[in-house]
Structure formats: C-alpha cells, structure tokens
Structure 1
Amino acid sequence: MRRERRIKIIATLGPASSTPEMCAALFNAGVDVFRINMSHTQREDLPAKVAMLRGLEKEFRRPVGILADLQGPKLRVGPFGGDGAVMLEKDARFILDADPAPGTVKRVHLPHPEILTALEPGHHLILDDGKIRLVVEKASPKQAVTRVIVGGKLSSRKGVSLPDTTIPVSAMTDKDRSDAEAAAEIGVDWIAASFVQRPEDMADLRKVVRGRALALAKIEKPQAVARLEEIIEASDAIMVARGDLGVEMPIEKVPGTQKRMTRMARRMGKPVVVATQMLESMITAPVPTRAEVSDVATAVFEGADAVMLSAESAAGQYPIEAVTMMNRIAEEVESESIYRSILESQKAEPEATGADAIAKAAHEIADALHLRAIAAWTSSGSTALRIARERPNSTVIALTPNAATARRLTLVWGVHSVVTKDASDIDDMAFRACKFSVREGFAKEGDRLIVVAGVPFGTPGATNMVRIAFVAKEHVEQA
C-alpha cells in the first residue's frame, strides 16, 4: 500500500473510531498517523489502543504512526453558588481571588495561585473559549480586580486563557508526566506537549521520554509564538494548534502566524503539522464547506508535513468521509501546476554539512533526471528527514532496520518507510534499493533511482554517499 500524495494525514481516535474495523477503514482511506488524545484517555486504557493500532501494521504490512497528545495544564475558574452560573455585565468589576468560597456575580475563586502572582494591570483574561473577556485593573497575590470587556454567562469551572501572561509553571502537569511515561514505555512514536510557552517545557518532556519517542511542541499560545525558533530547536516537530491560538490572539492574526510557523519549521528541517477545525463542518455533514477545502489546500500548498483531523474523526458522524475528502484535496493540490513552484520558492538553503549537501544533491539529480524515487538508507531517520526538507519531486523511500524509525517517519512529508535489514555492502545497498522500489510500486524495469546512504553501514548520522542505480530484470524478479 502506498499513498499518491506527499503530505501526511493524522486522525484522532474517539468514540466514532474506537474499533479495529473502523481504524482499518480509516487507514485504508488515507490515515498515516493516529492521535490518542490523553485529555479523554485514561492511562490504563492506553495499552489496548496502542495494541489495536499495532494490529493494523500486521494487517496492512505497513508502519503506522501513533501520536500521544498530552492534556497540558487546564486553567479553570472555581465553582459558583446557586445554579452554578452568573451573568457578567459589560464594564462591571469582577474579582478573581484565592478564596475557595463559591463564586458570586462579583467574584470567583481562581484555584491557580501562580496566575494571581503573575497577573499585572493591563493583562487580559479570556474565559470560556473567548466568550468572556476581562482586563486586569489591580493585581496582588491574593486577588485580581478586573473590568468586564465582553460580558455574558459564566458557569462553574470554565477555562481561563492568558494571552498576555507568562505563567511560571511547566507545561507538564503531574498527569502529563505520568501519561508521557506510560506512552513512552508502551512504544508510541510521538508525544505532543500542550500549551508550550518556552523551550524549557520541551526539555521537561524530553527528560521524561528519554529518547523512547519523539517530542512534538503544540504552538497554541502567543508566548510560544514569541519564542518560536527556540522552541522548534528544542523539539522534533511542531503543531500549529489553531484552536487555542485563535482564542489567545486576535483571530485575524492566525493565518499569517500559521504561514510563518510552517516556513520556519521547514527552514529548520523539523516536521510541521497544521491542526484544528480543518473540516469542522464534516462532524455533522457529509461534505465540507468551500472555505474548509481552501483551508486544507493552503496547508498543502505551504508544504506542511501533515494535516490533522480532531473531532471530525474522533466524534463525527462521517469519519471515513472526512479522511477521504482530506486525501482527495491533498492529491488534487499536489497535482496542480503551481504546486511545485510554490514549494521551490520557499526552499531553505542547506546547512554547511556533508549530510545536507548530499540531500541537496540527491534532490537536484532526481529532479534533473525526472526520477520517481530517492531510496535513503537510514538508521535514525535523519537522512530521510534531511531529504524531505528539500521537498523533492520524488518519493523518499526510507529503508531502515528499525521499526521505530519507520513509524516515526510516517509523520514526515513525502517519506514512504520500509523495514529491512541494513545493507551489507555497496552492491547490496543498490540492489535492495532497486528491489524495494519495484516492490512498493515506485519503479519498474528500466527506471533509474537515487540511492543515498552512509558508509560504513549501520553508523547513524554518517550520510556521505549518493549513487544513481538502474532497475534491472533481476530486481523485478526478486521484488
């Protein structure tokens, strides 16, 4: 099985996609990576979900990626008395304080002392996903006196967002550390940290994971956008999490921010995922809106590594249709005549390393000779990542002895992974590259392909060789 597109599709598991049969149908429809949302998953349920997805690998004989998405710190107001809700009027004074007593129309408990300590006059608070907005007039460690800018009904334990305030706590809660340890131990491929503010948050995740999975930073706070380059440097990949980002910053700024984030990640050679509300209407409708189709197409044109479905596949009425539609949009965009020119215009210059020079050379040779495949022998995945950063017109076939590497690369643009033993010598390297290119449907007798590897074989990070190989009759016979 191979995809007819370069960009990858991530789908979230949920009540609508919890059975092996549905997951198999979603994989058939185009899913490359399955996301397990730890906000809605108990730690003890994780092994069964992972085992179900690993079962797909045996059924389809293809690597399947698994992304565990940590909940992150959920900031909420305390409970209200009476019927559990109050009506806040515009321009009224409203106090958030350290008093655990039930809230009234004049005040409510804020059970996060670190927020009260960090708030300053002029800072804004956004409650209930943007429905209510407050501005701080006076602040102390015991209470914050605010003025209501946008009023409305506020219920118990609604969420709090702080676009202007850097909270002096880690993005990793105790639950996140426990979930990350469980996910890494059971062998998921990617672990995503939510509400990242600074590169130190990713260092905290890496300390827990200890190399057993790759670390992805979800960018959904203005503080993270301000330190984006440092966070990308500290991460293995990033996600443009537009839901909370659109709550915490003016919504009209989100499209430009998305483009800047995508281009910076591409320049730095780190995979980038675009997520949230991509085909939102397909939760309840069998077809998307024209605006949603354009939104997905924009992410594909920008050269993002993956696009993600959330509620559409987790709880929607049409999960298979949503994946099928996303797959069709991606294939159509990538066949557009202007697609390549847009990708090329954003191409970053390679770093001054032998591996980057080899990746650039492989791309240019493949394009000049109109070759369909670049076969990259890779142990850690870094060779395939470097070539994918070039966004070549050829599929990158990652030949790796490590199943974990093959699974991790399912998130990466244009990479088709094959698990096989390492090459024994240069002739074996070229022979099996040709054989697998035929077997996987990327080459036929008489074709040429590029082979990239590192000598001596089995040495991670030693990419130093590029070769043009010819597909002969014996490669087809043994495929």
Structure 2
Amino acid sequence: MSASRHVTTKILATMGPASESVHRARALVQAGVSAFRMNFSHGSHEEHAVRFNTVREVAKDLGRHVPIIADMQGPKLRCGRIAGGSMQLNFGDRVEAILGETAPEGVIPIPHEELFEALKADDVVMLDDGFLRLSVIEAGEKRIEFKVEVPGKLTDRKGINIPGRKLRIDALTEKDKADLAFALEQNTDYIALSFVQTAEDVHNARKLIGDRARIISKIEKPSALDELDAIVAASDGVMVARGDLGVELPLEMVPPAQRRIIRTARAQGKLCIVATQMLQSMIDSPTPTRAEASDTATAVYYGADAVMLSAESAVGRHPEAAVAIMARIIRAASSDPSYFEDMDLLDLDGDDHSVPQALATAASFAADVTKASAIVASTNSGSTAYTISQHRPIMPIVAVTPNDKTARQLGLAWGVEPILIDHQDDFESMSRTAVQTCRERMNLEADDHIVLLAGIPTGRTGGTNTLKIIRVGDAS
C-alpha cells in the first residue's frame, strides 16, 4: 500500500438535520467521514440519542470503527434584552452598560458580573460575533462606560467577546454538566470542552469524566494561547476553533495561532483538529472556493489529525459532496512528494524519554529502513498507536486491539486504521494475527515486511516493550 492510498488526515463531520438519517450517515462514511461530532449547542437529548444510535448502526453495518465527539456548548456571554428590541450604536458615541437582564432605553444590559469584574479601562469588547466593537472608558462593579469604535445596530441577546481577559467562569455550565452526563451514558468516545482558558479547566472536567471518554480542548480564547503547553498536556487532543478565536484575535493572527496549536499538539503526541469554515461556501454551493481548498490542504500539510465540517454537513445542501471534495483534497496533499518530508521537520517533544516513545521512534525508523508495508501496534488503551502516529510515518499504522472503544477512539488519529481482534494469549499468536490482518487489507508478498509493537506478556495496558520486524513469508 503506497503512502498516497491510505488515509492520513481524517474527516470529522458534524451531524445535524442534513445528515442525521441512516442512509445519509452511511453515505457520508462511504464518502470519507471517519468521525462524527454532536453539537450540544443545538438539539435535545432525545434528538442526540437518535443520532448516536444512527452512527453506531451505520458503523456496524459497514464494519467500521467510527468515533463520536460530544461537543459541549460552554458558557455563552450575551447581552440582556434591549429596551425597544434594538439600539443604534454610532461611531464615537459614549454608551452605558449596567449589570442585569434589562436596562433603560439607550443602556446596554449585561447579566454577567464576571465581565464587570474583569474589564479595565482601554479594554476592547466585541459584540455580535465581532460586528460591533466598543472600548472601555470607565469600568465599575455594576456599570461600564464604553466608546463605540465599530458602529452598528445591537439587538437582544447578542454575544459578547472580551479579547485578552480571563474570566472567573467555569468551562462547564450546569447545562454542560447535564449534557456531559447524557453523552457519557451514550458511551461517547470524546468530549469537546468549550471556553477552555487554563489547564485547570481541563483537570476539573477530567474529575467528572474520568476514563469514560477522552477530552478535546477547544482553543477559542486568546487567553488559552497563554497556557497552550499546559492545556495540551492536560488534554487528549485540541481543536483549533477558528470561529470564536477569529472574533477575539485579529484576523491576521489566526493562521499563526493555528500553526502554533498544531505544532504544539504534534510535539506532545496529542490529537489536533482544525475546525470552522473549512468549506463554508458549500453550505449552499455544490463546490468550494479555491481559497477553501487551499485552506483545507494547509491543515493537512501542517499534519493535523482531522479537519472538521460544521454547518456544511449539519445543515448544508450538499453534505456528501462536501465530504467527497474534502477527501480528494486530503488525498492530493498527502500524495505530494514533499508531504512526508515536511512532516519530518518538526522536532518532537525532547522531554519524553519513556519506553513507549523510544519504541515508537525505533519502529518508525525500522519501518523506513526496511521499507515495511505497515507498522502494527498491539494496544489496549490506544496509547501505543497514538505515539506512533505522532511520528507521522509514511506507511499505514494498523492498530489491533481487543477493546471496542479503543478501536473507535483511534479512528480519529492521523494515519491509524483500527482493527478489532480477539485477545491474543502470547506474542507468537499476536505476530501471526498482525501478519494475517495486514494480508487481508494489503496486497503483500512473501518478501514484504511489517513492524510489530506489542507487549510481553500480552494484554497489559501500558505494557508495550517489544519491537519485531516480521517478514511476511516467515509468519505463515
């Protein structure tokens, strides 16, 4: 199997009204979707329960391991109800805001005391996804005076963003906790956390989640960039949430931030998803713009584990076409002769001197030298396969596991094909199973090689300690 024929960067599709039927979900998986996202900002638990069942049914029918990400809404800062329903903010005007759900005419109601605590003179506040911009003249505990920098009409319940300030607010609201409990009952594979500002937000979520799901931290606040290394270390993966990040950061700073987030995640061996407006025009159009194609390819060239479709697959008119085109872009980028050369330019985390890291490094090197057809990772928890994936080898990573949930979770990792197998009693039976598994999926000949990473004795989580180079003809 050549490098251009196996899937490297995966496609994560958001499930919504346009993609929630069984036949449409099946078509999306067949077109190239590796994982689905459930957006808990929309929809009831009853609706999401149907979607969970749909994904599991389709995955079983197709013999695939399809992970599900439950994406928590997180806290939303919004204005209260504007007297008269709207107010015009003109450039240079001075406007008052007070603490509360309602306010007199001409005054902005803001029902978030945390915002009043955080804001200082000269701070910037963005309203309505950045379409309105105010600067702080004077800040108090219950009253703020603003100057209008970017004018427009403000209506009820518009969102508020505060670039550059950390807020005393939990990443998980009461709604999120209820959604989290439901998602865990549905046996979700990943939880995506919104409004992550510090590593402590991730640790607090981990106390509730335990080992029932892996955690993906959404990097959507500039304050998260100040603690990026610690947040990545505390998480199982991160998402470059470019929508909110692009509101609070200057637009020209979003691409450097994206590159930094991907590099940090890769260096620590954590998943990285690039999200928001990847093929935005395909919500209505049957084809994307050239700029959108280049944007998607850039994420692939950077080595992202997955690229995400949001409204394109949730409510768009052409979800299957969006997936098919995204898959074509991924194949073209990963078939570029310089693609894997660029992957090698990243220095991995030099602080990791563990045995699994040493074995993964050795396996990647050995596979390259022997021109192996695949690297096979025998894994219970998935950690061996994730560590190999960190090295972005040119050959496929086949992860064999007796754990169904591990197989699903690995479906999101770069270059990994998860395979569910029976428990193997000894290393020799594992070696035979590894060769048989690869033979079933690749056109291997007797002189071909695979590289196997496994543990002796078998079946122990975290017990990977053995590397074996196997000539296919010797394992029959």
Q: Work out the CA distance in 2 between the residues paired with 1:145 and 1:102.
A: 14
Query: Which position in structure 2 is the counterpart of 1:17?
Result: 19
Query: Aligned to 1:16, what secondary structure does the other structure show?
Result: coil
Aligned letter for 1:24? R
Query: Which position in structure 1 is the counterpart of 2:215?
Result: 215
Length-normalised TM-score, structure 2: 0.97
Q: Work out the CA distance in 2 between the residues paired with 1:404 and 1:118.
A: 42
1:70 aligns with 2:56: no
The more displaced of 398-407 and 419-428 is: 419-428
1:72-125 deviation line (CA, Å, top 9, x unaligned): 10110011122x1111011111122124434533x1210111111221112111
Q: Structure 2 unaligned segments of length 5 or more: list them.
A: none
The more displaced of 436-445 and 452-461 is: 436-445
Aligned letter for 1:359? A
Length-normalised TM-score, structure 1: 0.96
Query: Which position in structure 2 is the counterpart of 1:54?
Result: 56
Q: Work out the CA distance in 2 between the residues paired with 1:301 and 1:161.
A: 31
Query: Which position in structure 1 is the counterpart of 2:45?
Result: 43
Q: Work out the CA distance in 2 between the residues paired with 1:465 and 1:155.
A: 63
Query: Aligned to 2:133, what secondary structure does the other structure show?
Result: strand
Aligned letter for 2:202? M
Q: Work out the CA distance in 2 between the residues paired with 1:46 and 1:225.
A: 32
1:290 aligns with 2:290: yes
Query: Aligned to 1:416, what secondary structure does the other structure show?
Result: strand
Q: Work out the CA distance in 2 between the residues paired with 1:277 and 1:443.
A: 40
Q: Structure 1 unaligned segments of length 5 or more: list them.
A: none
Using the aligned pairs only, state the percent identity: 42
Could you tell me how far 1:240 is from its partner in structure 2?
A: 0.4
Query: Which position in structure 1 is the counterpart of 2:331?
Result: 331
1:448-467 equivalences under 5 Å are 448-467=449-468
1:324-353 deviation line (CA, Å, top 9, x unaligned): 011000001111111111101114155211
Q: In 2 relative to 1, CA 445–151 (structure 1 residues): closer, same or farther, beyond 3 Å?
A: same
Say if 1:372 and 1:442, in contact at 8 Å, map to a contact too.
no
Aligned letter for 1:273? I
1:57-85 deviation line (CA, Å, top 9, x unaligned): 21111111100100010110011122x11
Aligned letter for 2:409? R
Q: In 2 relative to 1, CA 99–434 (structure 1 residues): closer, same or farther, beyond 3 Å?
A: closer
Could you tell me how far 1:3 is from its partner in structure 2?
A: 7.0
Say if 1:373 and 1:443, in contact at 8 Å, map to a contact too.
no
1:14-413 equivalences under 5 Å are 14-82=16-84, 84-105=85-106, 107-348=107-348, 351-413=352-414
The more displaced of 323-332 and 439-448 is: 439-448
Q: Work out the CA distance in 2 between the residues paired with 1:203 and 1:64.
A: 26
Q: Work out the CA distance in 2 between the residues paired with 1:374 and 1:409.
A: 15
1:114-164 deviation line (CA, Å, top 9, x unaligned): 111221112111000110001111111111111111110111100000112
Aligned letter for 1:232? V
1:364-384 deviation line (CA, Å, top 9, x unaligned): 111112112111100000000
Query: Aligned to 1:53, what secondary structure does the other structure show?
Result: helix
Could you tell me how far 1:448 is from its partner in structure 2?
A: 1.2
Q: Work out the CA distance in 1 between the residues paired with 2:418 and 2:105.
A: 58
Q: Work out the CA distance in 2 between the residues paired with 1:189 and 1:404.
A: 7
Q: In 2 relative to 1, CA 101–449 (structure 1 residues): closer, same or farther, beyond 3 Å?
A: closer
| Residue correspondences, number | 472
The more displaced of 160-169 and 30-39 is: 160-169
Q: In 2 relative to 1, CA 326–266 (structure 1 residues): closer, same or farther, beyond 3 Å?
A: same
Q: Work out the CA distance in 2 between the residues paired with 1:356 and 1:442.
A: 30
Q: In 2 relative to 1, CA 358–79 (structure 1 residues): closer, same or farther, beyond 3 Å?
A: same
Q: Work out the CA distance in 2 between the residues paired with 1:300 and 1:426.
A: 36
Query: Which position in structure 1 is the counterpart of 2:470?
Result: 469
Q: Work out the CA distance in 1 between the residues paired with 2:5 and 2:74.
A: 33
Say if 1:185 and 1:212, in contact at 8 Å, map to a contact too.
no
The more displaced of 36-45 and 59-68 is: 36-45
